[in-house]
Amino acid sequence: MIALSLALAAGARAEELLSYTIVSDSIPASLTGFPGDAARGRALVLARTTTCILCHSGPFPETRFQGDLAPDLTGAGNRWSVSQLRLRLVDASRFNPQTIMPSYYRADGLVRVGRNFAGKPILSAAEIEDIVAFLATLRD
């Protein structure tokens, strides 16, 4: 079921970017108009294709070879609100222009973009919302 969910999500990556409004350090409204699914978000965070686990570690004892280039995701739901998490995923460069974290829901003004992702977001709006829903559950 998770594999099917990820396969369907991968097909959604070619979607047009939906508009959103940034307020201060956050995107208050869901990109899809609906809350994400935390179970699907967990699967995406742990899938090596979305790269989260390649750079981040977290409370995932079953997952070997977690990254250490980026902050541990443990307690992410305490450190940031849902709205702040959303903007961090959409465009992390708004917080640090030198970040190595990809802008997952942006298609313009990017450099060193893989051929498969040129002109389209890495993640769909639904995938962003799913990951946000999961990260919000990570509390100390």
Residues 6+ apart with CB under 8 A from 102: 51, 92, 122
| pLDDT in single tens digits along all 140 residues of the chain | 344 334 334 444 446 788 999 999 999 999 999 999 999 999 999 987 767 888 898 998 888 788 888 899 999 999 999 999 999 999 998 989 888 888 889 877 777 777 777 778 889 999 999 999 999 999 98
In this structure, the chain runs to a length of 140
Q: Which residue has the tokens 């305490």?
A: 78
**Using DSSP, how many helices (H) and how many strands (E) does the chain show?**
6, 0
pTM: 0.83
